[in-house]
Amino acid sequence: MESLSVDEGETVPGAPRLRASYALDAEGAWIAQARHLAAEFLERARTENGLPVPDRVVEITQLVVSELVTNARKYAPGPVGLDLRVFGDAVEVVVHDGNPEAPRPRDADPGRVGQHGLEIVMAVADALDVRREAEGKSITARIALSA
């Protein structure tokens, strides 16, 4: 797992206040590492930028990161990218992968074990956006800092 860039940008209008990008191409405990990166990112937003980030937002962000990264690693070829950004009053989790197909939530089935990741993300995020990219797609989940 490698940090590609860390950028704090109040200098460009419309730029995120805080941003970090990571390539999740290492084997091993990448989900745990991604969750840890999300917690570190939000702690940095608290301590270095003075943003009020409730513990509940950290927990929700870690859950979203976990579900989106798991789905990307499970269903997409190649490396996975993770971007964390603070825009205004929200944190955005963006996961990039090599599969161009948009994920689809499944019909409710109380007997189904697993495969609830997208449903979970949709339930806890304020917004979810899927965009096709040149080599795959990106999924952005937006979580209010006041959640």
Q: What is the pLDDT of residue 132?
A: 94
SS3 16: coil
Model pTM score: 0.85
| pLDDT tens per residue across span 108-134 | 677 766 666 888 899 999 999 999 998
State the Cα–Cα distance between residues 113 and 75, nearest whole angstrom: 17
Residue 142: C-alpha distances to residues 28, 29, 108, 113 (Å): 27, 25, 23, 26
Q: DSSP letter at 33? A: H
* pLDDT lower than 70: segments of the chain: 1-16, 25-28, 108, 112-116, 147
H-type alpha helices, 18-107: 30-47, 55-75
Amino acid at 138: S
Summarize pLDDT for 137-147 with one digit per residue, the tens.
Answer: 999 999 999 86
Three-state SS at 13: coil
CA distances from 145 to 18, 28, 42, 64, 92 (A): 13, 30, 10, 14, 10
State how beta strands 2-7 and 136-144 pair. unpaired
Rounded distance between C-alpha atoms, residue 59 and residue 106, angstroms: 24
